[in-house]
Amino acid sequence: MSDQAHRTEVTTDPASLSMEGQSIVLSQAQLDDIRKSVEEAEGAGLVRLLSRDVLSLDVLGGGNYKKVFGSDLRPEARERVGGGEVVLLSPRSSDAVHLSSWVSQLREQIRMVAEGLQSVCGLVGVCVEVISQGGGGV
């Protein structure tokens, strides 16, 4: 995993958000896995954010998932999250290996938060876009 960080500006124009615009085809099992992970994250006290809440990102990491540190958030989102560091996880791509790695990493982070190790993992918020299947969504 690379330790080199780079800065990515995310604009408020939804059409140009770097975290949007990718259609991901999921099996029912993958969708259920992601739904369960989101519920676990919220149950552990993590704040759910949308990409429109994120104004800019410092990206650090490689591998099958991305860790995002030092996010600048909209004021309303910052109030919900508090003053702590935000680490957002997002899949590297729609590839099944990347998605399963992302879910596994999110679950590990949730476990650390639930065990009181939040200062170790730094996770206070998770960014999950709406994933729809028919009329439903995550």
Give the total residue count for the chain. Answer: 138
Q: Look at residue 94 and tell me if it is in a domain.
A: yes
Task: Dump pLDDT digits (tens) for 83-129.
Answer: 666 666 666 666 777 777 778 877 887 887 778 776 666 666 666 55
Q: Look at residue 12 and tell me if it is in a domain.
A: no
Q: Look at residue 93 and tell me if it is in a domain.
A: yes
Structurally, how many domains does the chain consist of?
Answer: 1
- Six-digit token string for 120: 């170790």
CA dihedral of 77, 34, 109, 112, whole degrees rounded to 10: 110
Helices 96-114 and 28-43: crossing angle in degrees, nearest 10, is 20
Structural domain of 35: 26-137
Whole-prediction pTM value? 0.55
Which of 52, 65, 74 shows the shortest CA–CA distance to 129? 52
Q: Look at residue 5 and tell me if it is in a domain.
A: no
User: How large a percentage of the chain has pLDDT more than 70?
Assistant: 45
Q: Look at residue 74 and tell me if it is in a domain.
A: yes
